[in-house]
Structure 1
Amino acid sequence: MTTFWVPLIWLLVAGVLLALELAQPTFDGLMFAAIGALIVSVITALGPLPVLLQVSLFIAITVIGTLWLMRWSAQRNPAPERQRQRDDLAEVLGTIAPGGEGRVRWHGQSWAAASLDLDRSIPEGERVLVVGRDGTQLQVMAQTTVSRKTAD
């Protein structure tokens, strides 16, 4: 095969992969394969490369790009349980007596709260877990109590 056709073949592969990626409603990662084929097409147009090196370069670009995208996506979109746990935390605005009522800051607003922890008071500034809601009053527990109960 003459070296004239090699870049055109890689360009065709890039076009097919790009068309497949754009035809689907979800992102399947074919974009990095298309980018890899395009890069190999440009490199082979500049000078001849052994076929094994061309394929290796294509695979390396595809794998590295896909792994980077997976890592970036995981950092951008935290696991649902971690996000839920962060959403369920509130800050105590004034000391809450055991089983008593007080106020907490939850999602940037002050809420009335009732402590479900009957053993100890919850000091001001401590983070509490919102475990329920009764109308406009939150039901909260100290995080240490929750972790102690799950350990038992």
Structure 2
Amino acid sequence: MNLAIFWILLGVALCVMELMIPTAFLESALGVSAVIVGLLALALPMGFNWQVALWMVLSLMMFLGLRRFAPRRQPPALMDATEARTITAIPPGSSGRVMYEGNSWPACCSDREMAIATDQTVIVIGRQGNTLIVMPESAIM
């Protein structure tokens, strides 16, 4: 009887935690599985080891079933050919900094032999990791 109450309280706590801190249904799957194990423990006599095993199996099945409802996360993508403004000069073959969409980014020129002065408009043509690949607007237009 005490273990059944433990499982039900654990399940309720995990479901409340899912409401407070969303974890893509992980806590809710664990919580609902704990409540089911608690109700089964009231009806059927089984040891704690069997209850834990049942809880793990139910949690896994429930999580896999609910996973399709979780939003898919994708890394943010850069827009094609958008403008930025240089904050520092970009020497040939080296990197500098540009202001892009309100944030400062490291940037290098796609032409390794071209320098870009400070406070120039540049076009973002790609990205390598966190470094933007830019070209001066005057070189494109």
The TM-score normalised by the length of structure 2 is: 0.46
The structure that is helix-richer by fraction is: 1
Instruction: Say which structure, 1 or 2, has more relative contact order (CA 8 Å, 6+ apart).
Output: 2
The TM-score normalised by the length of structure 1 is: 0.43
